[in-house]
Amino acid sequence: MNQLYRRLFYLAKALGVLLLLCWLGAAPVQAKEVVIGVFAYQGEQASSADWLPVLSYLNHALPGQRFRLDNLDAEGLRTAIAEQRVDLVITNPGYYVAMEYEFGLSRLATLSSPLSLSPARAIGSAVIVRADRSDLQVLSDLAGKRLAAVAPQAFGGYLVVARELMHQGIDPASDLKELRFLGLPMTPIIEAVQSGAVDAGVVRTCLLEQLAGQGELRLADFRVLSPRQEDGFLCALSTPLYPDWPIAVTRATDRALAKQVAQALLNMPETAGGLSWSVPADYQPVHELYRELRLAPYAYLRANTPQALLRRYWPWLLGLLLLLVAWGIHTVRVDHLVQRRTAQLRDSLTARDTAEAQMRGHQEQMDHLSRLSILGELSGNLAHEINQPLTTIGNYARSVLRRQADGRLSAEAVLEACTEIDNEAQRASAIVRRIRHFARKRPAVRDAVDVGLIAAEARRLVLGLLMHPPAIAIEDQSPVQCEVMADGPQIQQVLLNLLKNAMDAGRDLPPQRQGIVLRLESADKRLLVHVIDQGCGLSSSDLGHLFEPFFTTKADGLGLGLPICKTIIEAHGGRLWAELNPQGPGMRFSFSLPCHATTA
């Protein structure tokens, strides 16, 4: 029994292994999917139909792979490559070049079609016009005309022609009257040319011939601008020929798969439509086109070259240049004017300084002369004044000598005589010192001075010089002590002049009319000094001429004293004026000076 069970067990085990082997042998091998991204410029349907023979061939030739077409527009294809959703890429030469740069696509083979001369010379464009447009013969005739094309990025539908137009000196963006993009298919472009809606249209080579062959248009109705002769090429064209569409792999594509696909495609027999694949063509001419048009991957050239900037911004640059030139001229002119005016100013300042220096010199000279003149007038009795102490000194000296001879000279007598002699000598030398100080020639200065002290000094000088001086009373009625920034001797000169005039006015009058009052007041930060006499006074007509130079009523007068006083006071920021004495006969001369500082 056990043996039977064991045999059955072995039989079942053998059957199981057999079944497993059968199942394994019968199960189909899971083929890997390979996605071919195709630029479907004419739509999904047309694209699928175009590439079906290639797809079928690859699926047949490489049974380990399952090839699938993914028909995409330009942006869709770009995204699919970026996201590594495609293994193989079939696209036009323009997009291939752009994506070769951007994603590292590398071509495996280039399409070979029956209409092309070779895979390297396959794609071009014809610029068509109506046959009756005799004004349009070459591409350069399109300046200022309306042109229809497929799209701004369409390789054969625009860019190839754009490059030729640039070669002819026409910038399609600015030199055409209108650039109209009508998209795909290209037949509306032909219709727009025929109807006159545009002057010319861009179509791929051989399209006209193809439609004419199908009886959809008459070739004689159209003409191609700047027709080119390409030996062996059967269709009319206006541009050079560029390489045909490539099939390419991405960076992520399996290298073994790439090799298998390349080998398979190169071995692919011609399809019914005459398509086959050949070794990869040279896409350098496409690169050159993109570089010249400064499109991606050469878009960076557009922004940076000096020529591009010059071409784009020349009106602005010209304006800027003119502005700079105008500014330069203006600057030079202003500079010249400034220099001329500065020189003039310097000259006139120098002239003014010289004149001022001369005036100052004259003023000082005048002041000096005026002081000497005052002294001259006041010191008629100077000799007498000096003589008095000298006589006294002589008397004392003689008295000492006499007493000595008589033998009566006591020590007390010598002491008394010497003291008196010393006193008199000091008196004489004080008079001389004051005169010398007053008469000294000196430049004007400004010091803080006490006008009260100056008035007292002036009074002393007058009293010292005259034999019969009048009574001069100083009345300081100022509630505050006013300090004045002034040239002390000049102020003293003014006071002496006014005192001398006051004395002259009372000279021939009784003594009670000869008294003079020198009064000091202060108000509103100004010091007021009045010199009041009771003399002869002045008529109102003379009063009007009082400060005019050379006005004098005196036989020996100069008429310069008062004008000089006025100049001195005004130079100190003050004012000098005269009026009839409001409190009696005579005159009142007053001057004011600004207080520099006041103390109570």
The pattern of x and - marking residues 14 through 33 that bind ligand ADP according to CB under 6 A reads --------------------
The distance of closest approach from Cβ of residue 547 to ligand ADP in the complex, given in angstroms and rounded to an integer, is 8
Only one of the segments 71-79, 230-238, 480-488, 556-564 lies at the binding site for ligand ADP (rule: CB under 6 A); that segment is 556-564
CA-CA distance, 352 to 359, in Å (whole number)? Answer: 10
| DSSP conformation class of 176 | S
Residue 37 lies near ligand ADP (rule: CB under 6 A): no
The pattern of x and - marking residues 481 through 520 that bind ligand ADP according to CB under 6 A reads ----------------x---xx--x---------------
- Residue of 473, 434, 477 whose CA lies nearest to 456: 473
The distance of closest approach from Cβ of residue 355 to ligand ADP in the complex, given in angstroms and rounded to an integer, is 25
Residue 305 lies near ligand ADP (rule: CB under 6 A): no
Which residues within the stretch 580-599 sit at the binding site for ligand ADP (CB under 6 A)? 587
Only one of the segments 84-92, 183-191, 509-517, 530-538 lies at the binding site for ligand ADP (rule: CB under 6 A); that segment is 530-538
Tokens of 153: 């990025």
CA-CA distance, 574 to 493, in Å (whole number)? Answer: 15
Q: Which is nearer to ligand ADP, 103 or 547 (CB)?
A: 547
The distance of closest approach from Cβ of residue 585 to ligand ADP in the complex, given in angstroms and rounded to an integer, is 10
Q: Please work out the total of residues on this chain that contact ligand ADP, with binding judged by CB under 6 A.
A: 21
- Number of DSSP helices (H) and strands (E) in the chain, helices first: 18, 19
Q: Which is nearer to ligand ADP, 479 or 544 (CB)?
A: 544
Is residue 348 helix, strand or coil?
helix
Residue 106 lies near ligand ADP (rule: CB under 6 A): no
Residue 370 lies near ligand ADP (rule: CB under 6 A): no
Q: Which is nearer to ligand ADP, 37 or 535 (CB)?
A: 535
Please report how the helices 488-505 and 306-378 are oriented relative to each other, as an axis angle in degrees rounded to 10. 40
CA-CA distance, 167 to 139, in Å (whole number)? Answer: 10
Tally of residues, the chain:
600
Tokens of 425: 């000598």
Residue 425 lies near ligand ADP (rule: CB under 6 A): no
Contact between residue 345 and residue 338 where contact means Cβ atoms under 8 Å apart: no
- Residue of 87, 79, 109 whose CA lies nearest to 255: 87
- Residue of 257, 290, 240 whose CA lies nearest to 101: 290
The values of phi and psi at residue 472, to 5°, are -120, 115
Binding ligand ADP (rule: CB under 6 A), the pick from 119, 172, 243, 535 is: 535
Contact between residue 565 and residue 556 where contact means Cβ atoms under 8 Å apart: no
Tokens of 248: 């390419």
The values of phi and psi at residue 480, to 5°, are -130, 160
- Residue of 90, 72, 10, 77 whose CA lies nearest to 261: 90
Residue 567 lies near ligand ADP (rule: CB under 6 A): no
Binding ligand ADP (rule: CB under 6 A), the pick from 301, 480, 536, 571 is: 536
The distance of closest approach from Cβ of residue 504 to ligand ADP in the complex, given in angstroms and rounded to an integer, is 7
Q: Which is nearer to ligand ADP, 10 or 550 (CB)?
A: 550
Q: Which is nearer to ligand ADP, 520 or 543 (CB)?
A: 543
| DSSP conformation class of 112 | E
The values of phi and psi at residue 129, to 5°, are -135, 165
Q: Determine how many CB atoms are found less than 10 A away from the CB of residue 13.
A: 10
Only one of the segments 116-124, 185-193, 444-452, 560-568 lies at the binding site for ligand ADP (rule: CB under 6 A); that segment is 560-568
Q: Which is nearer to ligand ADP, 180 or 500 (CB)?
A: 500
Binding ligand ADP (rule: CB under 6 A), the pick from 80, 551, 575, 581 is: 551
Please report how the helices 411-439 and 488-505 are oriented relative to each other, as an axis angle in degrees rounded to 10. 100
Binding ligand ADP (rule: CB under 6 A), the pick from 279, 553, 580, 597 is: 553
Residue 546 lies near ligand ADP (rule: CB under 6 A): yes
Q: Which residues of the chain form contacts with ligand ADP (CB under 6 A)?
A: 497, 501-502, 505, 533, 535-538, 546, 551-554, 557-562, 587
